[in-house]
Structures are given as structure tokens and as C-alpha cells.
Structure 1
Amino acid sequence: MSHQLAPNVSEAANTLAEALAALRTELELPSGYPADALRDAEAAVSRHTLPAVDLTDIPFITIDPASSTDLDQALFIEREGNGYRVLYAISDVPSFVLPGGALDAETRHRGQTYYAPDGRIPLHPEIISERAGSLLAGQTCSAFVWDFDLDADAEFRSVSVRRASVRSRAKLNYKGVQAEIDSGTADPVLQLLKEVGLKRVELERLRGGASLNMPEQEIVQLPDGGGYRIVAAPSLPVEDWNAQISLMTGMAAARLMLDGKVGILRTMPAPDERSLLHFKRQAGALGKPWDDGISYGEYLRTLDAKDPRQLAILHSAGMLFRGAGYTPFDGKVPESVMQSAIGAPYAHTTAPLRRLIDRFVLVICEALSAGTAIPAWARDALPSLPEIMASSDQLAARMERLALDTVEAALLVNHVGQEFDAVVIAGSKPSKNNGNGNGNGNGANGNGNGHPYGTVQIAEPAVTARCEGELESGTKVRVKLLDANIATRQITFELLSQADALGVQEP
């Protein structure tokens, strides 16, 4: 579902463009690449040599959004005995970044790629991220190739990783792959992706892992550059199956580093009892109780985002996915190693073009797998990486939220006074503070002046915003748009009527 600015609202479009440009300045986002870092990148590409190990005969494929050109991963799967062999090639970014050089310094400053509506701010210069380092179809590339031997249940029996030359045969996209799988015309590798992916989902269920498959709102720029639209749609099954291969690789990386007693994990504590109790009460009140006989992750997979009550539960579940961080170690395994949402130790390792930390994890894992010395530059960086990644994660999350607020306001600026059907995704409470809220903010429940506010989601355009009135989670309501201000990113609705009161009380 999507909605875009009407072509005759040029004033709103201009205001939106100015607001998005101002957002970059406000957040002090990187602008362009320093000349010395670009020289480093160009020199690295010109002198780059391919690894001696040649795996170009393996028919790898990539599966990404159709518009992606920074391709980190390529995949191949085949049957082997009663199990499977999975080869997962990850872009060899470390071979393009000279430790201690200007490019290295700039990537540490950025931390990750930032996806702004008016243009991507890449972690690496495009000569690397979209050309020499990208696993583009038909291009011979250097990659870290993870080699998995899986049993009949798709649990890995053994795993190794090494640098090799690879060549992807095709750049596929999620929609096309899903259509081929559904029609029965998919290539055997894609059929095996579904088979292995479903088995990995079952393993996730058994270990108590959880995937929050909530529809995401994505800002998409129109082809002619004349505006934006917001697309909100549930993820396709193939995205989940493909993600399971990436998760498996991250779990394998964690195992290698824990066995070697050196590395850095992505960790997240389990939800505390109070938060779990709050969530269980919410779920029960919304008509979809969580039976203690099944795991948290298994319960989440039963939820249907198209049902307004279950959509409200999914939004509430997101509050449990908190506290994620990075845990480095060298010589001694830390006490807390779990990523609770995954249900296992885990490390970021499959997106080095877009995320800084993966570059270090790949090099460490390759050395551990081969039994060779870990490069000093990778080992020495471990203590500094958590702060770099936490800072960039916070900046990326803030940019995405403010950008979405800005575009949402632009889509509604010419509809003030109109009425909409909506779903309440966070019920309201009277405010107990004296301040004014900023942004549209999912879960906002007070405006600082004692007036109750909740959060509603309208379908067309796909917008989530604050709404005045006594609201009950999971109910369908009729609302009126009171204000939409692009410059302040403020949207406010007013409750007119409730279509189906469930009698839900917020804990």
C-alpha cells in the first residue's frame, strides 16, 4: 500500500525537500567523502588482487531488493547426503581498506550506511560499495566464503570460512523469487532455500528464538525525483528464509569466536519479568492470549499483522526487543553471550559493505577457522567498536524516525480537517508531565498538558501518529486530522468514534 504527494502540491514538495536537507544538517550526517579517503579507495581498487582459491565455478546468486547495488551476500545450496551444503559468500571489504589509513578512519567515523529518503550516505565510497566490492552478477570478486555442512534438520555439523574468488550468476529480487517459488518454476537452489529456510525457522522455534515480522514503513523516492511515497507491506516468506541463512552465519561466527576466546558479539538480554507480564496482559486483553505452553518466538509467529488487534500486539512486542549491544572479549569468554531474540550467541558478519563491525568479525573468523594469527589491527580495535556502533545505531534510528515523521507530515499536509479510518496501536493514558512531546512517536500517551493521547495507524497513506482522546489498543476508530506540519514534523489526530470497543485496559 502506498500514498504519494499529489503532483500539483509543489509548495509542499519544496517544503519537504528543504526539511529533509535540513535534517542532514541537524543530525550532522556525513556529507561527501574526504579527498584522502577517496584516494585510499581508488588506490585499493587499482592494486586489488583476487585470492588464490578459485570458486568461480560455483553458481552463486544474490537475492536483494530490486534497487540494491551494494550486494554483500551471495548464496549457493545443494543436497549432500541426507543433508545440505550451503556456501555463503560475503563481500571481502577488508581487502579494500588499509588499516590505519584515511579510508579506515572515515569508516570508523561513519559506522554504517545511512539510508536517508533523499539519498543514501554510504559507509564506503561507491567505487567499493557499488562496484569493486559488490558481488554483482558476472563480476569476479573476492569474498569470504562460509562453507556449511548441514544435517537433515538443517543444523550445522561443521563450518569453515576462507577467502576465495567468486562470481555471482544472477541478481535476483525478493518479489521475483517468491513468485517463482509459489508457481513451482524456481531454480533448484531457490527451492532448497525454502526447504532449508523452513527447517531453520523450526530450529529457531525449538531454541526459543523470536522474529518480529511486523510490517515496515519504507520511504521510497519517486523515479522522476518529484516526491516520495511510503510503502507499508508485510515481508515475504522468502525474506525470512534468506534471513535465516544470514542468522545461521552470525551464529557460526559467534561459535568460532567463543571457541577461540576472542571476538565481539551482538548481545541482548532477555526481557525482564515485569515487561513479560505487561505483554501477556496486553495479549490476553486483545483476544490473543499467549499460552505458556509455547515459546515467545513461536507465539509471535502466530500473529497476523492484518488483524488490528494482533497488529497492536506486535507493536507491544517490539518493546521487549530492547537492550541490544556489542560485547568484545579477548582471552576470556564473557558471562553474558546470548542474543535473546535469536536464542543463541550471535555476531554481525554478513553486511560489511553497510556495517563497520562486520569487517573485523570476518577477519577474526577467517583466522580462527584457518588456525592462523589474527591481524593485530582487528584485535586491537575490539574495545573501541561497541561505542562506535552504538553511536551510529542511535544516529541511524533517529534519522529514520525523523525522516519518516517529516514525509508523513508532507503526505497529510493538504488533508487537515479530513476523516480517516484507523487502528489504535497504543492506548492512551492521562499525561503526568508538563513537557510537550516531540515527533509523532509510536507509543506516545500524553501531550504534556493532561490531555490523553494514544497512537493510531491509518492505512492510506500508511502513517502512524498521535491521536487525542481515550483510546483502547487494538480497536478500530474514526479520526480527524487536526494538524500536519512539515517543518515541526508534527501530526495530530482527534478521536471521533470507536468502531469496535474491546474494553481493553492498559496495564
Structure 2
Amino acid sequence: MIRTGRADLSFDGVRTEFGLPSSFPAAVLAEAEAAVSRSAGDRPDLTSIPLVTIDPPGAKDLDQALCVRKSGDGFVVHYAIADLGAFVTPGGALDTEVRRRGQTIYLPDGNVPLHPTVLSEGAASLLPGVVRPAVLWTFTCTAEGVPSDVEVRRALVRSTAQFDYASVQQTFDAGDPHPSVAALAEFGPLRRALALERGAIELHLPEQEVEPDGAGWKLVTRPRAAVDAWNAEISLMTGMAAASIMLEARAGVLRTLPDPDAEAVAALRKSAAALRVDWPSDLSPGAFLAGLDASTPEALALFTDATRLLRGAGYSAFDGTVPEVTTHAGVAAPYTHVTAPLRRLVDRFATEVCLAVTAGQELPSWLAEALPRLPSLMGASDSLAAKVERATLDQVEAQVLAGRAGQEFDAVVLRAGDDEAEVFVAAPPVLAKCAGKRLPEGERIRVRLDEADPAGRRVRFTAV
């Protein structure tokens, strides 16, 4: 954890403003410590599967481990997920606290974890070289990447190695990937092609990341590696399979997003025409966006406009009656969260539903009682996480620009209004408001920095 001692460089103000907890209650810590030594129960030993993890550098809360192999003309995918059900007692102090938190909140100078680190970075994490209880999903897939058989069960697993996205990408680029993920280069694109056929919508807006920079911080953006996209398709496939299990059983909790309305699609087509970007009439919004060069200013503007297609995300819990909306427009299929239980509350409960259903068992009473409460708990948690992330980025943006008022920068207009616009400055990578009447979306312009106030978390530009 990095502490600078300066109010404009630490994030203590963000923690205070949003009431983020600084520690766990003693009863929660005691229960977590006791859970570490508790038996995981009788489960098959599948440690012979050569699983590996792929996460950001330095990550310790490892939710997933995978092994993707060719099998004849098709594929077999093993996807192990950290099994929090082996550690959290329903109704106990730990369960109560994680329901209150909802998810891990990430800040540059130290995270606010969902679970005590003795679990999230220790006994429950799929760290390399150690045996761990896990929920193992096994997919037998056709040559086209379509699952023909899905199995989910509790097991003992062992990750053989911990990798990060950049290093794995380097091995693919060098033609020497690890055997456990070598088939990803074929399987991942197959899954992405299926997603585009379904009409899935994915936006490629620049993702700002905060990194230490001496005594302070810097902002960076990184292009998404192909391995990152391939790995994400495994998680999406698992979430879709879990949703299918729930819908067949008429019980569970889905992550939902209504299909974009005709007006939103028409507005995006209008923006594309104004930017002189060809959009064939027979191409879906997802396929159109996927074909754009994310490095161009026109694409950045269209990705920003396309956020209006993905509004109204929520969670739908059900037990007996299937909700009216069962799909997620971004995925273009029914979908639920099951792959990040160390970091997100709902995944543990959704996983328990899948395990009970596939075992032919009734949902335990504690699980059935919890389902209706999950949408509100996760909705509040998602809202808080988004506010904290925005406040953190606003503060760092102002900090890296502090003292540079009056300087000019190159920018791209992402979204225009009558008197101001949203612009993206590439160096340093900043998203901010810019004063100026009806600035042309997708155009490169020069902007002058008027204000950069870290304490107030404000950055303002004016078009030159």
C-alpha cells in the first residue's frame, strides 16, 4: 500500500466521502481465520488438470484458473472458480459483512476488499502451487466453439502457474504459448465470432489506469491485448451457461440489460453519417462497432455515443417465475455473474444455485431467502464502486495537470453539447469537460487548460 502523506496525492478523502470501511469487525476476522482451517469436505481431486491463472501483474485475489485444450476437432475447457461457499457460513458474521460491502472497491493506494485478505489473497485464492477448493466448470465444445456438454462441480484443484496478460501475449507473439492456454488463440476468436453473430455489443473506449509515479501518480492507457479478449470470452461462456441452468430451473439471479431501443440505434447511425463512417444497413450495431479502428478519433466518438445503447443494466432474481427481461444486450444472450466470487457478492450465490440445480437438489432455504435481496445489494454496490472510481480518476487527472493552467493540448471531441463538450486528451490521458459551442464530434482540436484542482477534483478546458 502506498501512502504519500499529501492530501492531494492520497485517497483518504475519497474513502471518507463515500464511507468506505478501513477494516473488518473482529468477529468477521475471527470467523475468516477459523474458516481457513475448516475442511473443504469430500470432493474429487482434480489437481492433475494443469490449470493456470491470467490476471493483472501483482494480483493476489485470483478468482479463475483455466486450461483450454484441443480434443479431436473440438475443444475441452476447464475453468476453475474460487469456491467461497467452502469458507462463508450462511448467516454468519462474515456473510453479513460481505453482503453489506457487495464488492471489492479498488483505489490506487489500497483496495477495500470484499473478504478479509486471509481468504481473498490467501486460503480461497487460486494461487499457484497450492491445492484449493474450487467450483470447476468443464465445457466440451464443438469445432465451432459451441458447448455440447457442460459440467459444474466442486473439486480440489491446483494452479500450476500465475501469468499476467502482457507476458502471455508475448508468448503467443513469439509462437511459444504455455500448453494450457495455447488453444486460446483458436478458441477465443471462435467465441468472439459467435458473439458478433448473436449481436453482442462491445465498446472500446480508452481505459484509464492509475500507476505510482515517484511520490505521486500517473495516468496510462493500454490497448487491450488479444489474450485479454480471448480470456474474457471464457468468462462470458461460463456466465451464459450458468444463466441457462437457472432459466431451465426457473430459479436464480441474472445480470440483465434491455436491448437498445430503435431511437438509440437511429441516433448512433446519425452520428456515424455525420462522421462520414460507413455503416452498411445490414450490419448490426455490435458488428459495426467491432469493425472500427479504436485508435481513430471517429471511433472514439462513436464508442462514446454507443454508451446510450447499453443503459438500464440491473439484476433480476427469480424463483418460480422467470422475469420479463432475461437477456443482456452487451452479451446478446441470458447471462449471470459466477466467475469473480472473491471480488463480487452475487457470484457466490449464483454459483450455489447452479451447483444445487445440476445436482438435482432443492435450493437450500438460506439461498432461496437471499435471492430477492441480491438485486438491491448489488445495485447499491455497483453505484458506489462507479462513484469511487470516477472520484479517484477525477482527482488523479487534476493532480497530473496541476500547475499547467494556460497550456494547450491536443484533444478529440467525444460528445458535444450546446456550450460544452466531453473531450479526450491523449497526453496525459484525461477525459474532461471543455467549454465551446457545438464542437464537432470526432474532430481533433486544440484545448487550453483553465483549471486543475486536485482538492476539488476538477479539470476544465476551453477550445482554442
1:316 maps to 305
Report the secondary structure of 1:335's partner residue.
coil
Q: Which amino acid aligns with 2:264?
A: S
CA distance in 2, matches of 1:339, 1:280: 22
1:44 maps to 35
**Residue 125 (str. 1) matches residue 116 (str. 2):** yes
2:79 maps to 88
1:7 maps to none
CA distance in 2, matches of 1:32, 1:358: 23
Q: Which amino acid aligns with 1:161?
A: V
**Residue 390 (str. 1) matches residue 379 (str. 2):** yes
Question: Which of 280, 286, 291 is equivalent to 2:275?
Answer: 286
CA distance in 2, matches of 1:108, 1:428: 40
User: Contact 2:104–2:111 (CA<8 Å) still a contact in 1?
Assistant: yes
CA distance in 1, matches of 2:333, 2:40: 36
Question: Which of 59, 64, 67 is equivalent to 1:76?
Answer: 67
2:95 maps to 104
CA distance in 1, matches of 2:442, 2:62: 39
User: When the two structures are superposed, what TM-score results if normalisation uses the length of structure 2?
Assistant: 0.97
User: Contact 1:200–1:244 (CA<8 Å) still a contact in 2?
Assistant: yes
User: Contact 1:286–1:310 (CA<8 Å) still a contact in 2?
Assistant: no
1:235 maps to 224
Question: Which of 434, 447, 467 is equivalent to 2:434?
Answer: 467
Report the secondary structure of 1:464's partner residue.
strand
2:451 maps to 483
Q: Map of 1:144-163 to 2, 5 A cutoff?
A: 144-163=135-154
CA displacement, residues 439-475 of structure 1 (integer Å, 9 cap, x when unaligned)? xxxxxxxxxxxxx111111111111111111211111
Give the stretch that moved more between structures: 371-380 or 35-44: 371-380
User: Contact 2:69–2:182 (CA<8 Å) still a contact in 1?
Assistant: no
Question: Aligned-pair distance for 1:230?
Answer: 1.0
2:178 maps to 187
1:432 maps to none
Q: Map of 1:438-457 to 2, 5 A cutoff?
A: 452-457=419-424
Q: Which amino acid aligns with 1:85?
A: V
CA distance in 2, matches of 1:50, 1:180: 38
Report the secondary structure of 1:425's partner residue.
strand
Structure 1: give runs of 5+ residues left out of the alignment: 1-9, 430-451, 497-507
User: Contact 1:38–1:125 (CA<8 Å) still a contact in 2?
Assistant: yes
CA distance in 1, matches of 2:406, 2:394: 19
1:4 maps to none
Give the stretch that moved more between structures: 119-128 or 328-337: 328-337
2:204 maps to 213
Q: Which amino acid aligns with 1:462?
A: P
Runs of 4+ in structure 1 deviating by more than 3 angstroms, as ranges, are none
2:8 maps to 16
Question: Aligned-pair distance for 1:51?
Answer: 4.1
CA distance in 2, matches of 1:210, 1:492: 31
CA distance in 1, matches of 2:365, 2:168: 42
Q: Map of 1:238-249 to 2, 5 A cutoff?
A: 238-249=227-238
CA displacement, residues 349-406 of structure 1 (integer Å, 9 cap, x when unaligned)? 0000000000001111011112123222112100000000000000000110111001
Question: Aligned-pair distance for 1:15?
Answer: 3.5
CA RMSD of aligned residues (A): 1.3
2:159 maps to 168
User: Contact 2:139–2:151 (CA<8 Å) still a contact in 1?
Assistant: yes
Q: Which amino acid aligns with 2:67?
A: F
CA displacement, residues 164-206 of structure 1 (integer Å, 9 cap, x when unaligned)? 0000000011001111111111123322012111000011011
User: When the two structures are superposed, what TM-score results if normalisation uses the length of structure 1?
Assistant: 0.89
CA distance in 2, matches of 1:204, 1:251: 11
CA distance in 2, matches of 1:73, 1:58: 14
**Residue 357 (str. 1) matches residue 346 (str. 2):** yes
Report the number of matched residues: 460
CA distance in 1, matches of 2:457, 2:43: 54
User: Contact 2:9–2:217 (CA<8 Å) still a contact in 1?
Assistant: no
Question: Which of 241, 245, 250 is equivalent to 1:252?
Answer: 241
CA distance in 2, matches of 1:292, 1:266: 30
User: Contact 1:368–1:374 (CA<8 Å) still a contact in 2?
Assistant: yes
CA distance in 1, matches of 2:278, 2:387: 33
Q: Which amino acid aligns with 2:298?
A: R
Question: Aligned-pair distance for 1:46?
Answer: 1.8
**Residue 419 (str. 1) matches residue 408 (str. 2):** yes
Question: Aligned-pair distance for 1:213?
Answer: 2.5
1:445 maps to none
1:63 maps to 54
Q: Which amino acid aligns with 1:184?
A: G
CA displacement, residues 257-280 of structure 1 (integer Å, 9 cap, x when unaligned)? 111111010010011111111111
Report the secondary structure of 2:349's partner residue.
helix
Report the secondary structure of 2:406's partner residue.
coil
